[in-house]
C-alpha cells in the first residue's frame, strides 16, 4: 500500500461526515407508523457549530434518506446534505470538482465499508472508534470516542487545534 502524503490539517476547509454510525451510534428506531428516530450527541453538535464559526464548511453524505438527519442538519445549519448516496466516492469527486476544492483540503469521517473509498481519497480520513477493522486500518486517524458519542467533536478539536483557528474560537469561552 502506498502511503498518502502528510496533510497540513490547518488547510482543511471541508469536513464531510457519514451519518449513521458517525453522528449517531448506528441505531435506528423504526416506529409502528414507519417513522424513525435517531439520537445525536450535543458535543458533536456544538463541535459542528464551532467548525462553522471558524469559517469552515460541513457536508453530510449518507447512503440513506432520513427525516431525522434532515432536521438535525437544519438545526446545525450544515452547508451540504447529500442523502441516498450509494456511490459516495464518485459523487464526492464530482461535488469537489464543482466546488473547486482539492481532496487534500477535505476530511471525511466514517465507520463502515461504504466509507472506505472516501477515507482513502480525502486529505484526512478518519474512522470512529467503533468502525469496522478495515476502515480503521486505512484511516489517518482513529477516534478514541465511538460514533454518536462525541467522535465528531474529537475530530473537529483535533483539526482545529492544529490550526490557528482554535485559539480564536476559545476567546468566546475564555475572554
DSSP at 64: S
pTM: 0.94
pLDDT tens string 16-62: 999 999 999 988 888 999 889 999 999 999 999 999 999 999 999 99
Let me know if 49 is exposed, middle or buried by CB neighbors in 10 A (0-12, 13-18, 19+).
middle
Let me know if 175 is exposed, middle or buried by CB neighbors in 10 A (0-12, 13-18, 19+).
exposed
Q: Tell me, which fold does domain 9-170 have in CATH?
A: Rossmann fold (3.40.50)
Q: What is the pLDDT of residue 164?
A: 84
Amino acid at each position: 500500500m502506498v502511503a498518502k502524503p502528510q496533510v497540513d490539517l490547518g488547510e482543511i476547509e471541508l469536513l464531510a461526515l457519514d451519518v449513521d454510525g458517525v453522528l449517531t451510534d448506528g441505531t435506528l428506531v423504526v416506529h409502528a407508523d414507519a417513522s424513525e428516530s435517531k439520537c445525536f450527541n450535543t458535543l458533536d453538535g456544538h463541535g459542528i457549530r464551532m467548525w462553522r464559526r471558524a469559517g469552515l464548511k460541513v457536508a453530510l453524505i449518507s447512503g440513506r434518506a432520513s427525516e431525522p438527519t434532515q432536521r438535525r442538519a437544519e438545526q446545525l445549519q450544515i452547508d451540504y446534505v447529500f442523502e441516498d448516496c450509494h456511490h459516495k466516492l464518485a459523487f464526492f469527486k464530482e461535488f469537489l470538482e464543482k466546488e473547486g476544492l482539492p481532496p487534500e483540503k477535505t476530511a471525511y469521517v466514517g465507520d463502515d465499508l461504504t466509507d472506505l473509498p472516501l477515507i482513502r481519497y480525502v486529505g484526512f480520513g478518519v474512522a470512529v472508534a467503533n468502525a469496522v477493522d478495515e476502515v480503521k486500518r486505512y484511516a489517518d486517524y482513529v477516534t478514541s470516542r465511538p460514533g454518536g458519542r462525541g467522535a465528531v467533536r474529537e475530530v473537529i478539536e483535533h483539526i482545529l487545534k492544529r490550526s490557528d483557528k482554535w485559539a480564536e474560537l476559545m476567546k468566546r469561552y475564555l475572554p
